[in-house]
Chains A and B, each alone.
Chain A
Amino acid sequence: MQVVAKAYWLPKKGHEEAEYEDAFAPDSVTLETDLFRCAIADGATEASFSKQWARTLVREWENGSLTKEQFVADISRLQENWRRGFTEVRQRGKLAWYAEQKAEFGAFAALVGFVLHHDRHEAGADEPGDSEAGNSAVQDDIAEPADSAAQEAPAEQAKVPAEAPQLEVPWWEAVAVGDCNLFQLRGGKLLTAFPLTTSAQFTGGPFLVSTRGTAGNDLLRHLRVAHGDWQPHDTFYLMTDALAAWFLRCCEAGEQPWDVLEQVLGTADPQEEFSSLVRGLREQKLLHNDDVTLLAIHVDQALVAAAATAPPLIAWEEPAADDTGAAAPADPTDTPQGGEQES
């Protein structure tokens, strides 16, 4: 598959570029690959060293050292590395008293990690491969420790799920902690919003991935995972919270914000146009003053013509009874698939 991915970003108004605390990986790529990994993260302003933590998370995700399958154990390893590094810095005595005390509170970041797979999983005989229900994503159940005693289990033993989805199609998977969001667009419609599906869910105080703590089960409880199919010419956007909240507010008002973004990204100087768009939205009070990051991913644009004649590509699972609905929205104003899912 051909993947074109590029990040656009702007620090919050009144801040220097060096103070931007979001992170993304990769920056800009065009490549032929069977497996593509990318991520964005939003370091918490209230903490110190959040920028470094956010960068660590996206870098580790991109290079495959942080994975969905071993998410909690991988984070535990990164926390241990972080602690070791912090101890060394402290022992060198270079930190001011306040920097040391602040750092002890830990650094925090929201994260969305995303993977595109070109290979097709072998489907089981009773997979709902030809359902008409839609092409939407599915939020996966997370396998928590089976008994109550396991609630005390060390983080390394906590299992993150997630059977590999059995799809007969090229597919994607994603993990999320906090309020960075993934959007999937197809044919001028919003197909997926993950993990948050309404602007009201951006409350400003989500659980975040911390450098501290052995509370693997807490992390597991707040980890969201999802998967779905993709088709040539699909677009994926990864956004940090301010932009994602604006995007969903537009959708809720019956607008198509992806048209605005596509127009901006299609210009000769898309970063400058993106910055200009963000500044304008801030001035109109339509966008919260925060660091803003967009990672735009386009897949197999060249294969659009072939896709037009291809059979439908579907990833569908029976939703749980209390799900908010797994069907794809019929039009852009519908609520996209997804929703909070306690597991």
Chain B
Amino acid sequence: MHIFLSKSFHSVGRCDRIPTVRGRRPGAKEKNVIELTGISKTYAKSENKAVDSLSLIIPDGRIFGFLGPNGAGKTTTIRILCGALEPDGGDILIDGVSMKNNPLEAKRHIGLVHDNPELFNRLKAYEYLDFVADVFGVTTDVRRASIAEYAKRFSLADALASPIGSLSRGMKQKLGVLASLLHDPQNWVLDEPMVGLDPQAAFELKEIMRERTKAGKCVFFSTHVMEVAEKVCDELAIINKGRIIFRGTMAELRSRRTSANETGDSLESLFLQLVDSSNGDAAL
């Protein structure tokens, strides 16, 4: 069955072609997209490539999901994208601004929700927010309005005076989300944002994602849960062993399910089969 499916995927469509957005190829300069071209990364103490010649275009106005199993290279890609990690090769353009040549300006276009909210347990929540706002040069009026709005939506208002260490995992996650939105970034990048969130907060997060894409902004988030991607994403890319093994819309992924497996397996099993088939050889 696996062999059959793998062969089917190979025959159905290839993802090792350079991904395109509306027919555009990487390299063609266009504003308001995140563009990764030929990104590779091998960690200093590792022999394996965490990210291998990865090219991806993340358009505005869409919720773009980034899926992959644990250790596939999602966080590494996000860290490279946000300038936290230096790639061994390749280019990153954030709304046309090069992360390599103009990192400060490129970073100003991004709001990042980190995968680890356990960072500054000794700081109080308001101190953390003030710090982030100061880094992005958010004026007093704008930060107050922003904090008031999102603290209300995420039920965080009563926690602002507390040390971050005293907050639950979910509260810390919500604080990270709030902080990432203070400067109203054009590109909102979230690394496993749903982890630890209660249903109400998860709902709010998805609502904000949709609001932002409606406003023409970019939302790019990673997850390893297919169900989340299925409900939220307009478009997605699947990564395994540092390489993109699928990129397309949910409809394209669903159509692949139909053509690949007439028995109508779930998207989750399709995801597993994609990952499984890419484990044996090169990216699909």
Chains A and B bind each other: no
